[in-house]
């Protein structure tokens, strides 16, 4: 046998192998209706962030929506997705881009390279108000994008490594994590006026704040670290007047507003996980086992669908396996699971 025969035999062996898995037939989507458009973060330096379309009418999943619409990939670490008017905004952190798509059909409208002076801004989250998109960037700024001209019109200096950004009380709040300066992390949140587009206040809430939401009364809830040299967390309630109201010593990791309550995901140092329901009015846990946490390998966030009155939870499956959207009723009863791509973290809900 000579080399070439050997090579040919090997190639035949290889070419006869079939994929044991199929992660979706990815039937093209013309219009988004009655379903979920989920952003999958993917993994750092793998360029495998993606958008998955889950069609509730047909039960079909398309994991290549972005690729089919644009003939290119989304990029590296898609971190957030938001809809404002008739446009979708996808924030891609490591690629340092903002992808703007048509909200009806997903066609690409514009890609903005988020670079400042040759340095990637590393955009993280997006929030909307007053005709503008506010994008928190890890370089210490919140970028203001005019949603009509689709141009960045201003940069607002905030704290170190701003992460989640939230609109409430006619203000914009961003949590300054300072995570890249660990252990010298930041401990503030910045308040931005959406009219004057300036940071009007910065208040101390606790070390390494990285998540923020609000209740119906405009109170803010912020996840912070309990102290230095620990990853243990707690929840801080801040009044609309920016005074700290209560510090809840619960190891909150993620939170989602469900109706007038807040669903919190807690994870102890010994990895005891729970998904609980918190009533902001009574400041109490109303259901300590709202959703069975054992149904998840790696709980990675959730969103409430008021229209269908159900909750979409994300399971990152140890961060290295195909993730799931797990659907629950508003009472925490499991309904259905959809397997999509790596690290799903946020969704747009289509009626």
3-state helix, strand, coil in the chain (%, to 5): 10, 50, 40
Whose Cβ is closer to other proteins: residue 217's or residue 231's? 231
Per DSSP, what are the bridge partners of residue 91? 80, 98
Among 129, 147, 321, 330, binds other proteins (CB under 8 A): 321
- Classify burial at 107, counting beta carbons within 10 Å of its beta carbon; exposed 0-12, middle 13-18, buried 19 or more: exposed
3-state secondary structure (DSSP) of residue 179: helix
Is residue 175 a contact point for other proteins (CB under 8 A)? no
Q: Contacting other proteins (CB under 8 A), which of 16, 29, 39, 47?
A: 47
- Asked if 2 touches other proteins (CB under 8 A), the answer is yes
What gap in Å lies between CA 229 and CA 49, rounded to an integer?
Answer: 31
Minimum CB separation of residue 327 from other proteins in Å reads 20
Residues in 149-168 at the binding interface with other proteins, rule: CB under 8 A: 160-161
Q: Which of 56, 182, 248, 250 binds other proteins (CB under 8 A)?
A: 182
The answer to the question of residue 11 lying near other proteins (CB under 8 A) is: yes
71 or 351: CB nearest other proteins: 71
CA gap 110, 150 in Å, rounded: 8
Using the rule CB under 8 A, is 30 a contact of other proteins? Answer: no
Q: How far is the CB of 120 from other proteins (least distance, A)?
A: 6
Question: Using CA atoms, how far apart are residues 211 and 174, in angstroms rounded to an integer?
Answer: 9
Which of 306, 320, 333, 335 touches other proteins by CB under 8 A? 320
Interface map 242-261 toward other proteins (x if CB under 8 A) = -----------x--------
Sheet order of strands, 78-84 included: 78-84, 87-92, 97-102, 108-113
Give the long-range contacts of residues 205-208, CB within 8 A, separation 24 or more.
205/175, 205/236, 205/238, 205/244, 206/234, 206/236, 206/247, 208/177, 208/178, 208/179, 208/182
| Contact set for other proteins, span 89-128 (CB under 8 A) | 92, 94-97, 111, 113, 115, 118-120, 122
* Contact residues for other proteins, defined by CB under 8 A: 1-4, 6-7, 10-11, 13-14, 17, 19-23, 41, 43-48, 63-64, 67, 70-73, 75-76, 92, 94-97, 111, 113, 115, 118-120, 122, 138-140, 160-161, 178-182, 184, 231, 253, 267, 271, 297, 300, 317-322, 341-343
């Amino acid at each position: 046998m000579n080399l070439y025969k050997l090579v040919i035999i090997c190639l035949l062996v290889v070419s006869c192998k079939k994929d044991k898995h199929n992660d979706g037939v990815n039937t093209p989507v013309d219009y988004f209706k009655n379903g979920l458009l989920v952003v999958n973060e993917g993994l750092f330096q793998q360029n495998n962030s993606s958008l998955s379309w889950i069609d509730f009418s047909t039960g079909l999943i398309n994991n290549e929506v972005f690729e089919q619409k644009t003939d290119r990939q989304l990029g590296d670490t898609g971190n957030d997705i938001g809809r404002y008017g008739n446009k979708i905004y996808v924030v891609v952190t490591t690629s340092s881009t903002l992808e703007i798509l048509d909200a009806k059909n997903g066609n690409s409208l514009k890609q903005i390279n988020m670079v400042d002076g040759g340095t990637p801004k590393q955009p993280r989250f997006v929030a909307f108000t007053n005709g503008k998109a506010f994008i928190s960037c890890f370089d210490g700024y919140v970028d203001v994008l005019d949603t009509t001209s689709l141009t960045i019109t201003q940069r607002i200096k905030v704290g170190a490594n701003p992460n989640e950004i939230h609109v409430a009380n006619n203000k914009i709040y961003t949590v300054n994590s300072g995570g890249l300066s660990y252990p010298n992390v930041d401990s503030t949140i910045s308040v931005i006026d959406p009219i004057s587009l300036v940071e009007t206040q910065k208040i101390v809430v606790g070390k390494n704040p990285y998540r923020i939401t609000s209740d119906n009364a405009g109170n803010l809830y912020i996840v912070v670290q309990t102290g230095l040299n620990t990853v243990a967390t707690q929840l801080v309630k801040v009044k609309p007047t920016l005074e700290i109201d209560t510090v809840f010593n619960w190891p909150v990791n993620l939170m989602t507003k469900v109706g007038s309550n807040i669903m919190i995901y807690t994870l102890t140092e010994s990895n005891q996980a729970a998904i609980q329901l918190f009533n902001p009015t009574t400041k109490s846990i109303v259901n300590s086992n709202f959703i069975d946490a054992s149904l998840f390998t790696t709980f990675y966030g959730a969103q409430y669908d008021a229209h269908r009155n159900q909750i979409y939870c994300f399971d990152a499956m140890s961060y290295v396996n195909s993730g799931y959207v797990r659907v629950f009723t508003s009472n925490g009863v499991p309904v259905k699971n959809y397997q999509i791509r790596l690290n799903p973290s946020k969704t747009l809900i289509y009626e």
